[in-house]
Structure 1
């Protein structure tokens, strides 16, 4: 698996385990079938090139064995080229029959008519199976403006769960584990220990020589995108307004969420913003024993090998003031082209990809989480038992997952910058909110 240590939401289905970025054909069947019986599948490299090619070869063979009249061609498309290639293919009128999609792309295609409505191409009983037990939040990004079902949730994950380093927790005297956002701050203080073993707030604590901070707070957009928004959600607000035309945190609940973030950053228990320059070090902090608590998206084989003594525990998502528990998540989708020249073969291939065995095999391959509920543990044979424990704990908390808003514009990165300005003391709360509102209103107006 990948050496990527922080499995962030935005890149979850782009970089989770990604090791190959080349363009390659895999699983091409060459039998005597006519071109009219061939369906194409474009997918991105969510595992190594070798792993992806092996999986797709088996997928094509399994599809043909189950559907004698059809063949499949699969194409691995590099993430950096995908949006451009998909746009060109959809515009040309000769698109791939089946595609792997993520929410940001769904926002682009939603009103263009390039994706088929599963309600029209699939029997109701198939749709019911595809959506059985699926978190309703995952469907928001898959729906068209008139309720069309433009894609089917395929794999999920990317959720960053609150996680504690048990070695540091024990060293700190096992303070009560936090269950709310407010409780996280004193807990982080209790978990902040200097190199001499003194705790934050005790006589002689040396803030210049900290062995472990209580809370890892990376000022890195690709990581922050996985935890800032669920502060707003759990406090009863949002990063954009209900109509999508303004920010959603210019209210008491939004301000309370921001003040909670600020209290953590100012507590002395949070990692200082200049602690690391390497994103992987931010992601590895809790496993390396440099942070007692962190929003963690995954436990990779490389991390398990690099940190053999790391012991972590995934906590229930903390509650906001009203008891809400919501976590930012991600989802990969399977879609069928509206202008497929082989609609029957296209749907047959999509249905096969979404059938239990290939779907579960792919989910495990990329260390994702199943979109359908499972009985017992989904992971049992990962390279390290700690990985199994972590992944299964996260899977059980999938009910708290929420997908970011369906919008025609993407204000997240801008908003993260403004929030960081406030957290770093560069702007006061009112000025930050005023500037953010003005800019997001302009972005929304331009997009619409």
Structure 2
């Protein structure tokens, strides 16, 4: 990761934004009597430099506050945080996920910011539509302000596409259906090559000895399937539950979902997509793609730069395929920062959370780093340009926002239990130990969690 350069211009802009009236300033609860160190946790190493830059700008504008950043890997992050809540050593502020915060809020581990948002007149309409709504829990209290958002797209190896005789413009118009896979499956088959050089759409293709799979697989996706199957199921007219947020019933037994998963897993049987055994072998989807084992993958916007950093691989983006519902689809997910209820520095913690959600951080620093897509609409535009300046056209990600084909990520109670049930079931289906009818029992178990 190259070092983050912070100019005096950025610092000056941050200072001006901090002292501006209303909107996204960082005032609201008064200055601390003396120096305060804010303990802040996050999990993404790729994003740590940009948030360190935000912390430096925040300190420059408000010298009484210093932010200490601690980074954990995703696998350790939530267990470490849960243990910290129990022991009373939780950070003042931490990066949070939509699947996790409802449980923490219900347990009283989070400090609501509803009053602070109202008092400081935070303009929630400045964020991409719908993002701010995700951080209001079932108790009606707000626990976060959007810091970024993510959608899904297809990432493909341009050399492999050229070798297959497929033109880049064709990738923007792909269609999908659960009966024969449409032109999308045609492309997947064409990009698949066996050990003898036969393609998946050619006579004599050997599905048992595949050198390059047309489509990669990270895993079964559990009950979420954000980058695995969600885009197909939703473009087939399916929704996770009876409402979102806070569904009282899930729809994993819906015929539209079952036929989607039946089609998707058929790609494994045809040899166009790796088996669960290969996907769970310890080699990540990104590394397998980088080694030429996968011609394309479906991925989240947050991993874009990682793909472009792969040596010897030239990549490009395409939007997810248009489904039977007549539109393409993508989950609309995003992160925010939560304040621990046990913080000794609530005023300082709020000032930092507000700064992270402000133009001073998102527009002047995060957007220019071209790592993620910031939540503020104005910052998103700047991030698109910053990505373009590095040779990456991220419109296949942002087209979902522009065309209104986003679907809010599910926010639900008992999500940990839902995940456990659905991961067991989906792993079994993807491993070909069960067929899609196993979803009937799984859905009954899931809905039993809600009475």
Partner Cα distance (1:134, 1:436) in 2: 34
Aligned to 2:358: 355
Matches within 5 A, 1:95-134: 96-123=91-118, 126-128=121-123, 130-134=124-128
Partner Cα distance (1:386, 1:63) in 2: 27
Partner Cα distance (2:407, 2:255) in 1: 22
Aligned to 1:405: 410
**Quick one: structure 1 residues 364 and 214, their matched pair in 2 at CA, closer, same or farther if it must change by over 3 Å?**
same
Asked if 2 retains the 8 angstrom alpha-carbon contact of 1:160 and 1:296, the reply is: yes
Q: Give the TM-score normalised by the residue count of structure 1.
A: 0.74
Aligned to 1:325: 328
Structure 1 position 36, deviation (Å): 5.8
Matches within 5 A, 1:236-255: 236-242=237-243, 244-255=247-258
For structure 1, the 5+ residue unaligned runs are 3-32
Match of 2:40, SS?
strand
**Quick one: structure 1 residues 235 and 356, their matched pair in 2 at CA, closer, same or farther if it must change by over 3 Å?**
same
Structure 1 position 146, deviation (Å): 4.2
**Quick one: structure 1 residues 210 and 67, their matched pair in 2 at CA, closer, same or farther if it must change by over 3 Å?**
closer
Matches within 5 A, 1:196-235: 196-219=196-219, 221=221, 224-235=225-236
C-alpha distance after superposition, 1:127-169 (max 9, x if no partner): 21x5413231x33431122432221011233x43123332222
Q: Which stretch has the larger CA shift, 73-82 or 186-195? A: 73-82
Match of 2:38 among 33, 37, 40: 40
Aligned to 1:9: none
Partner Cα distance (1:398, 1:167) in 2: 29
Matches within 5 A, 1:41-440: 41-47=39-45, 52=48, 56=52, 59-67=54-62, 70-76=64-70, 78=72, 83=78, 96-123=91-118, 126-128=121-123, 130-136=124-130, 138-157=131-150, 159-174=151-166, 176-177=170-171, 179-182=174-177, 183=182, 184-219=184-219, 221=221, 224-242=225-243, 244-275=247-278, 278-297=281-300, 303-304=307-308, 306-308=310-312, 310-337=313-340, 342-360=345-363, 361-362=365-366, 367-374=371-378, 378=383, 388-389=391-392, 391=394, 393-398=396-401, 400-410=405-415, 411-430=418-437, 432-440=438-446
Match of 1:350, SS?
helix
For structure 2, the 5+ residue unaligned runs are 3-30
C-alpha distance after superposition, 1:86-128 (max 9, x if no partner): 5576678897544332223311123345444433113466421
Asked if 1 retains the 8 angstrom alpha-carbon contact of 2:145 and 2:354, the reply is: no
Aligned to 2:18: none
Aligned to 1:13: none
Structure 1 position 39, deviation (Å): 6.0
Match of 2:188, SS?
helix
| CA RMSD in angstroms, aligned pairs only | 3.8
Q: Give the TM-score normalised by the residue count of structure 2.
A: 0.74
